């Protein structure tokens, strides 16, 4: 247990990657507070964390709202007295041709993928400053690095995820002297359950673009998050890790 006793918030904890991240942190000794808009997956993740002998908090919240997020994070801080680790994982894509996109489509993608990261991080950082340290890991996407090569029609998603990279770097500098590191993973295509709906032709087309010819394993991505949270990663901040089988090269 390399992170024994640490308190972690994972956003989107009910989703495919979020559930794996929460379980992996729990296995390393963290208590985990999941924040998610959808209660079912959140409850399943909390059960999994408790089954590993750790404490779990289930906080249902729409993190696109500033005030709602302050309240949600406030519940966690009230229960635990503070937070050591924040994983900004919640997000989601939308496939829409740019010339057909509405202002609402744009707002939705930037709210879910970028403003949510601001909202949660803004709510958590004061408590990390009080504690004198912390770890923040943001989940961006290969879409930010490679544009829409993986999925056409992803302009708003790619722009928002690129914003996450900019925010990571600027905040890393701002917090560097405060003992808080801010890093980011830009995942390529992960082997989540949704991928199993790909047709064989879609899968072949996808793998043809990836140098390793494989999908990413969510467990491996979660291990990278653990790595960023270890004491040995004290000197790593502002790093953008493309975990993508070489796709971004």
| Nearer of residues 42 and 180 to ligand NAD, judged by Cβ | 42
- CB-based contacts of 210, cutoff 8 Å, min separation 6: 188, 189, 244, 245, 246, 247
Give me the sheet containing 180-185, strands edge to edge.
56-60, 31-36, 7-11, 85-88, 134-139, 180-185, 240-241
* Catalytic positions: 157
**Angle in degrees, 0-180, between the axes of helices 103-110 and 155-175, rounded to the nearest 10:** 40
CB of 186 to ligand NAD, least distance (A): 7
Binding interface with ligand NAD (CB under 6 A)? 12, 14-18, 36-38, 41, 61-64, 89-92, 112, 116, 139, 141, 187, 189-190, 192
């Amino acid at each position: 247990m390399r992170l024994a006793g640490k308190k972690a918030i994972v956003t989107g904890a009910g989703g495919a990657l979020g559930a794996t991240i929460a379980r992996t942190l729990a296995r390393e000794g963290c208590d985990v507070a999941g924040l998610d808009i959808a209660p079912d997956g959140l409850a399943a993740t909390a059960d999994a964390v408790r089954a590993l002998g750790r404490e779990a908090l289930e906080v249902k919240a729409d993190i696109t709202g500033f005030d709602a997020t302050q309240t949600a994070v406030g519940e966690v801080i009230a229960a635990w007295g503070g937070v050591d680790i924040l994983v900004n994982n919640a997000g989601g894509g939308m496939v829409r041709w740019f010339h057909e996109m509405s202002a609402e489509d744009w707002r939705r993608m930037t709210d879910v993928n970028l403003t949510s990261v601001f909202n949660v991080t803004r709510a958590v950082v004061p408590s990390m400053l009080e504690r004198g340290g912390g770890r923040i890991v943001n989940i961006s996407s290969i879409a930010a690095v490679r544009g829409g090569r993986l999925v056409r029609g992803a302009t708003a998603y790619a722009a928002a995820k690129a914003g996450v990279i900019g925010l990571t770097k600027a905040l890393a500098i701002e917090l560097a002297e405060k003992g808080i590191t801010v890093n980011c993973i830009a995942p390529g295509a992960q082997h989540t359950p949704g991928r199993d709906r790909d047709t064989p032709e879609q899968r072949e087309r996808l793998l043809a673009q990836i140098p390793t010819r494989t999908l990413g394993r969510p467990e491996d991505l979660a291990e990278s998050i653990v790595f960023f949270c270890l004491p040995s990663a004290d000197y790593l901040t502002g790093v953008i890790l493309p975990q993508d089988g070489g796709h971004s090269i």
